[in-house]
Amino acid sequence: MTGQVPRVGIGVIIRHKGKVLLGKRKGSHGEGDWAFPGGHLEFGETIEDCVKREVAEETSLHVKNIHFGAVTNDIFKKEKKHYITIFMVCDYANGKVKTMEPHKCEKWEWFSWETLPSPLFIPFQNLLKQKFHPFL
């Protein structure tokens, strides 16, 4: 991995009625894992704009009350990828959940924090190791 640099990923924790939205990944690293909506921070883009863009692109939802949650350092050894993931917390504003990128996500579902599915995407696992809780 010499000469490579970590990329910046954004994970978006959308809260709604005491639950969070998770998607089952496919067609990429972490296939089969449950993860939050999100993606790469684009050059020159604000984190808030990235949150809104990624959520709309992936789920068709709109969000509000966007704020910082946590940061994780995520190394995917098998895939030889390294990400710094910035987790942002927000609230559902409006829209109906749709799987907008079926080649990247099998489905979206709402889960309570106490009954999360498995397996979880590596950044999500690292977030839980920090004892992070989006409703506290």
Q: Give the pLDDT confidence of 74-101 residue by residue, as tens digits.
A: 999 988 999 999 999 999 999 999 999 9
Task: Check pLDDT > 60 for residue 2.
Answer: no
pLDDT tens digits for 7-50? 999 999 999 999 999 999 998 889 999 999 999 999 999 999 99
CB atoms within 10 A of CB 3: 4
pLDDT (0 to 100) of residue 28: 80
Instruction: Specify the CATH class of 7-129 in words.
Output: alpha beta
pLDDT computed for residue 19 by the predictor: 98
Burial 65-94 (b: 16+ CB within 10 A, else e): ebeebbbbebeeeeeebebebbbbbbebee
Predicted TM-score (pTM) of this structure? 0.96
| pLDDT value of residue 1 | 47
pLDDT at 3: 64
* pLDDT of the residue at 54: 98
Condensed to tens digits (0 to 9), the pLDDT of residues 58-70 reads: 999 999 999 999 9
